[in-house]
Structures are given as C-alpha cells and as structure tokens.
Amino acid sequence: MLPKSEVRKAGHRVVPFANMVREGVDVATETVRDATGTDLSDFKPSNLRVIDRLFGPPFSDRVKQDTKTYSTSVVAFGSYLGEVMIRNLGGQWHFPNFFQLIVASISWSHFTASRYSYVVLGKKKARVFRAARLAIDKTSKAFSLYEFYELYARADGSSQIR
C-alpha cells in the first residue's frame, strides 16, 4: 500500500483523467470530421453547433445500441465541451479525489466518476459529461451543447450571442 502522501499527490490522480480528456477530444473531433467533414481542432464555441446538428435521432439511436459506444460518446463529447469552455472562458478541470475514486469504482453506474469530473469556471461547476449525456439522450432539439456553453458565457460576459 502506498503511503498517504503518495496517494494524494496530484500526479497520481490527474494524469489518467487528463489522458481520458485528451483521448476523448480526439474521438469527438474524429467522429465529427468523419460525419460532417468539419475540423473542430480550433475549439471555437460555434463548433458546438456542428455537434448539436450531429446529435439527431440517427446518431442517438446508433450510439445507444451499445453501452461501450454510448459511454465513449459521452466522455468524448463531454471532454470536447469542457475544453471549449476552458479555452474560451478560462477555468480548469476538476478530477475526483482519492475517496471519490473509491466510490466510483464500487458503484454500479459507469457514470458515477463523471459526477466528480467537471469544469470549474470561477465558483461555478460546469458538469460537461452530464450535459453531453443529456444532449445525446434528448437529442439537440431538447438539449443543446451550444446553449449549455452560452449559459456560462453569458454569466462570464463572453457570450457570442448579442
């Protein structure tokens, strides 16, 4: 067993989650590029509208047929949304602490860890993985990633809607 100080070092907890976010962004950008021909590598808020258009019933139905594809899609598009928010509004990722990792590892739900992973913008928590799940489940007509972003942008004074 590792000494307490070793377990709590940020590097032990941040590296796997930072890798997860990086890989998720790669999956999201590749999925959108393959489906629409759009390059999302500039992380512009307007790219979220492209993703919203992709999240129609055909996409939603297809990804929900397989649990692994669904989970991967939630992580991928939640990671991309989080990076758009961080790069355009400031903020940082918050990843689970050691205790939260234990809770997540014994939970029956594979989405428990996402409850503890979010973007911090000032004093607000942007639950980007929950937003991605809602956008996929409800499709973009009922829940828009772009509108989710804009809620935080308006509060920050960075809204693109004038």
- Chain segment 63-104, per-residue pLDDT in tens: 999 988 998 999 999 999 999 999 999 989 988 777 766 666
pLDDT confidence of residue 43: 97
Q: What is the mean pLDDT of residues 30-41?
A: 96
Q: Does residue 162 sit within a domain?
A: no
pLDDT confidence of residue 10: 44
Residue 30 domain boundaries: 4-156
Query: How many domains is the chain built from?
Result: 1
C-alpha atoms less than 13 angstroms from C-alpha of 24 in its C-beta half-sphere? 24
Q: Does residue 24 sit within a domain?
A: yes
Q: Does residue 138 sit within a domain?
A: yes
pTM of the model: 0.82
E strand spans, 73-143: 92-94, 118-121, 124-126
Q: Does residue 35 sit within a domain?
A: yes
Q: Does residue 161 sit within a domain?
A: no
